[in-house]
A and B are shown apart, each in its own frame.
Chain A
Amino acid sequence: MFKSLKLRGAITLIVCLGCLYFLIPTFFSNIPSPWDKYMFKEKIHLGLDLQGGMHLVLEIDTDKALDAMVERLSNDLKESLMDSKVRFRNLEKMQPAKISMELAGADEEKGLENVLREHYPDLEIESASPREDGKFVTLRINDKRAAELKKLTVEHSLETIRNRVDQFGISEPEIIPEGDDRILVQLPGIKDPERAKNLIGKTALLEFKLVDDENSLDEALRGNIPEGDVIAYGLRADQSTGVRGSSPYLLKDKSLMTGASLETAKVQIADRFGDVTVGLKFNSQGAVDFERITGENIRKRLAIVLDGVVHSAPVIQERISGGQAQITGNFTMEEARDLAIVLRAGALPAPVNILEERTVGPSLGSDSIRQGVMATIIGSLLVILFMIIYYRLSGAVADIALIVNIVLILAVLAAFRATLTLPGIAGMLLTVGVAVDANILIFERIREELRTGKTVRLALDTGYDRAFITIIDTHITGIVAAVVLIFFGTGPIKGFAVTTIIGLLASLFTAIFITRVIFDYVIWNYNIKKLSI
C-alpha cells in the first residue's frame, strides 16, 4: 500500500486524534469556554431501549377520510341534482366510500353525467343497471383522486402530530412517515406514556351541532331516527356524587362549524368554583360564522361535540359576537391542558390506530447500559488477555488495534449521529471477537512462514500478503449479512447491524493497517532476529 512508514504513522495518528475529537462530548460533558466553541457538540445518540422512551407505529385510517369525503359529496350532490332537475330517489352513501341512487327515467343518466362533469370531477359512475322504472346507479371517487386524498390525509396527520408533540414539549422527538399510511413516532425520555398516547392518538374533531328538540328523543332511541339526525352521547358528571354517566342527545347531523375555524384554544379557570374550562377563540371567518349561526338559532340548543361525544349543549340566549366560546366538562387541569393543545394543533383528518408500541422506562434503560458496558469490558478483556497469552508481544500489538477498533466504532457512531442500541452494544462486542480474527489469520500465517525458516521480515511480508485476500472475503460476507438486517430489521436490530458494519470496516483498517505500521516500525528500527509471536 503505502511504503513510507512516516506517512502511514501519520495516518494512524490522525485517525486516532479524529476519534478522540468526536468522542470528547460523549465522555466529558463540561468543557470550559472558550474551548467549547471549537468542540464537536454531539454525544453518542442512545436508542430508546437504552435511554428510555416510547416508540409508536401509527396507522392512519385513510379509508375513513375517504368515507367522510364521500359523505360530504353525497349531501352536495343531492342539492345539485335537484337544482338541475334530475329526478332521482334513495340517494345514499354506501360502504365503502360509494354513493348509490335510483334515477327515475332512462334520460336522467345524461343529466347525472352533466352534473358530474360540471361540478364533481372527482366522482365517476361505477355501474348503471336498468330497473323497471329507471336505472340503479353507483358512483365512486376516481382512483387518482382517492390516492391523492389518502396521501394528503397522511401528510396532514403527520403535520398535526408534529404540532401536538412540539407543543407538548418533548426534546428530540422523531416523527417520520413509514410506508403508505403509517407514521413512526419516537419520544425519548417520556414520563407519562399513557398521556402522550392520548395526546397523539386523539382525533380531536370539534363540531358544533344543533340539538333537535322538535323530534322526540325517546322515539329516536327506539330506533325511529328522523332523517338528517343522529344520536350522540354526552358525558355528564353528577355534581353531587361526581359519578360520570352518559346521557343521549338527538342532534342534527349537519355540523355548523368545526375546529378548523379556531384561532386558538387555552385553559381557563372559571372563577367561582375553580372549574377548569377550555376557552376557544375563532378566527375572523369563524367569528362571523359563529355570530350568524347563533343569531339564526336563538333559543335553540347548540351542542359542542368532540370526537362524537357531546361535551355540553347550552341554549343560545342571544347572537354571540366577538368569536369566543368555551368547552366545559369537569376536566382536570392536565386534561384541559392536553385538550387545548390538540385543539390548537388541529384535528387529525382521520382516526389513527396504534399498531405497535414499545415503551422502556428510564431505569430499565440505564440498567441495560450498565450491563451492556460491563459485558463489553469483560468480553474485551478476555479477548485481550487471550491474545497476549497466546501470541505474546504480537498479541499485544493486535490488542492495541482492537482498542482502536472499539474507539473507532464509538467515534463513527458519534460523528454520523447513528443510534447505539442494546443489540448495538452486543454487535460491538461481537465485532471485538471477530476483529481479532484478522490478526489471528495473519499471525498463524506468519508462524507457518517462520516454520519454513524465513526471516522475520520476509515472514511478516508473506503472512500479511497471503492473509489479506482471505480477510477481505470474510469481512465482505459479514457485511453482506449485516446489510440484509439493515433492510429488514427494526430499530434496535438496525443498531446491531450498523455497529457490526462499522466494526467490520474499522477492523480492516485497525487489524491490517495499524498492526502493520507497528510491526514495521519495530522491525525497521531495531534489528529483530526473533519475533515474539
Chain B
Amino acid sequence: MSMELIKPGVNIDFVGKMKYAMAFSAILIVIGIASVIYHGGFNLGIDFAGGSIIQVKFSKNVSADQIRESLKSTQLANSTIQQFGVNEFLIRTHESFSDQKMLAVNVEQPLTAAFQHDYEIRRVEVVGAKVSADFTRKAIIAVIFSWLAILIYVTWRFEFRYAAGGILALVHDTLIVIGAVALMNMEFTINILAVLVFVIGFSINDTIVTLDRIREIVKRNPKQKLEDIINSAINETLSRTILTSLTVFFTVLALYIFGGAVIRDFAFALLIGTVIGTYSTIYIACTSVLFFEKLQLSRMQRKE
C-alpha cells in the first residue's frame, strides 16, 4: 500500500470556486497595495535607492541606542540602526559614502571611541545614485522580460488562451510577493528581485503541468465541457502539484531557518512565492483559461 496524499478519483470543483478565488486574490493584492501606500512607497534597499549599509559585530552586549549615541555627532546621526543577529547590527543611511575617508571618520573613529576595539566591521556596501538608477531600470526590464519570454514560450507550446492564463497568474504572483514584502516592511533589494523572477519560473512550471493535462484530456474527449476538463485536469495533477510544492517549501524553509541573516529576507519572499505560486496554478491560471475561452467565444458570436 503506497502512501497517498491525494486519493485517486478525488474531484474537487475548482472551477466553481473561481469567483471566491478571484475575490481572495483581489483582497491580497489590495492589502499589498494598501501597505505600500501606508508605508509611503516601497522600502527600497540601497541597491535601488542608493546609500550605505555597514554591518558591525560586537564582541560584547551592545544596544542599538548605544550605537546611535556613539554616532550622534557624525554624518551617520540620522541613520537607521537595526539588530541583525546576536550583537550584530546594520547601520543604514541614504548617503553614499564614496569618499575614501568617510568611513573612517564617521564609523571607525566614533565606534572605537565608544566601544574600544570590541567590534568588527563585517560588511560595507555603498551604492551611488548612478548605479542604483541602473539597477532600478534593469530590475523592471528583468521582470517584464521574464513575463514576455514565458508568454512567448507558452504561446508557442500551447495556445494563446492558455498562455494568457499563465501570464495572468504570473502577474498575480509578482504582485502578491511584492505586497508581502511591503506588508512586512522588508527592504526591496536585488535579492528580492531574484525571488520574483524565480517565482515566475516556478509558478509557470506548475501551470504548464496542468495545462499539459488539459490538452491531453481535450484530445481524449473533445466533446466534454471545458469546465469539466479543467476540473479533472487540476484534480488529476493535484497530488503532483502539492508534492512538488512541498519539496520546494521544505528546502526554502531550511534556507529560512538555517541560511543566516544575510539571506533571511530572500528566503522569506521565496516561502511566500512558493505558496502563492501553487495557489495561483490551481485557482488562477487554469480557471482563467475558461475565462479567456468565453471571451473568445463571445467575440466569435458577435462576428457572426
Contacts and interface: CB of A to CB of B under 8 A. Distances in A.
Contacts of B39: none
Contact of B131 (A356, A374, A476): A356
Interface stretch (A103-111, A301-309, A429-437): A429-437
B271 to A, nearest CB: 12
Interface string A370-399: 011011101110110011011110000000
Interface string A407-450: 00000000000000011001001101110110011001001100
Contacts of B128: 353-356
A67 to B, nearest CB: 20
Contact of A485 (B121, B197, B240, B247): B197
Contacts of A484: 142, 145-146, 149, 197
15 contacts: A355-B130, A356-B128, A358-B124, A358-B125, A374-B259, A378-B257, A389-B3, A433-B244, A473-B209, A478-B201, A480-B146, A480-B149, A481-B150, A489-B190, A493-B191
Contacts of A483: 149
A80 interface: no
B198 interface: yes
B55 interface: yes
Interface in A153-202: 193-194, 197-198, 201
Interface string B34-68: 00000000000000000000010100000000000
A470 interface: yes
Q: Which 9 A-B pairs have the closest CB atoms?
A: A481-B201, A379-B254, A371-B260, A433-B248, A379-B251, A488-B142, A433-B251, A364-B122, A375-B258
Interface stretch (B110-118, B133-141, B227-235): B133-141
B240 A444 contact: yes
A440 B243 contact: yes
Contacts of A436: 244, 247
A482 interface: yes
A49 B55 CA distance: 13
A433 B252 contact: yes
B194 A477 contact: no
B57 to A, nearest CB: 8
B240 A441 contact: yes
Contacts of A359: 123-125
* Dominant secondary structure of chain B at its interface with chain A: helix
B54 to A, nearest CB: 10
A115 interface: no
Contact of A433 (B98, B131, B250, B260): B250
Contacts of B249: 433
B160 interface: no
Given A426-B263, A476-B153, A378 B126 contact: no
B154 to A, nearest CB: 7
Contact of B258 (A198, A374, A480, A487): A374
Given A360-B122, A434-B248, A375 B254 contact: yes
B103 interface: yes
Contacts of A226: none
Nearest to A195: B100
Which of B55, B101, B212: most chain A CB closer than 10 A? B212
Nearest to A533: B2
B98 A354 contact: yes
B300 interface: no
Contact of A382 (B125, B153, B204, B254): B254
Contacts of A4: none
Contact of A423 (B103, B194, B252): B194
A14 B184 CA distance: 49
A403 B200 CA distance: 26
Contacts of A470: 208-209, 212
B255 interface: yes
B169 to A, nearest CB: 12
A37 interface: no
Given A360-B123, A488-B139, A441 B251 contact: no
B297 interface: no
A454 to B, nearest CB: 14
B247 A473 contact: no
Interface in A484-506: 484-485, 487-490, 492-493, 496-497, 500
Given A444-B240, A477-B201, A478-B205, A469 B212 contact: yes
Contacts of B191: 423, 492-493
Contact of A434 (B8, B135, B138, B202): B202
Contacts of B283: none
A523 B10 CA distance: 31
A329 B8 CA distance: 85
Interface in A197-236: 197-198, 201
B246 interface: yes
Contacts of A426: 255, 259, 263, 266-267, 270
B81 interface: no
In this complex, which of A387, A473, A481 has the most chain B Cβ atoms within 10 angstroms of its Cβ? A481
Given A433-B252, A489-B142, A363 B120 contact: yes
A481 B205 CA distance: 11
Contact of B198 (A361, A364, A430, A444): A430
B213 to A, nearest CB: 8
B106 interface: no
A432 to B, nearest CB: 6
Contacts of A194: 100-101, 103-104
A474 to B, nearest CB: 4
Nearest to B250: A382
Contact of A364 (B55, B98, B150, B243): B55
B208 A201 contact: no
Given A382-B250, A430-B252, A488-B145, 9 more contacts: A57-B131, A355-B130, A358-B125, A380-B251, A423-B266, A436-B247, A474-B205, A481-B146, A493-B193
B157 interface: yes
A121 to B, nearest CB: 34
B123 A353 contact: no
Given A378-B258, A432-B251, A474-B208, A444 B239 contact: yes
Residue among B194, B250, B258, B263 with the most chain A CB within 10 A? B194
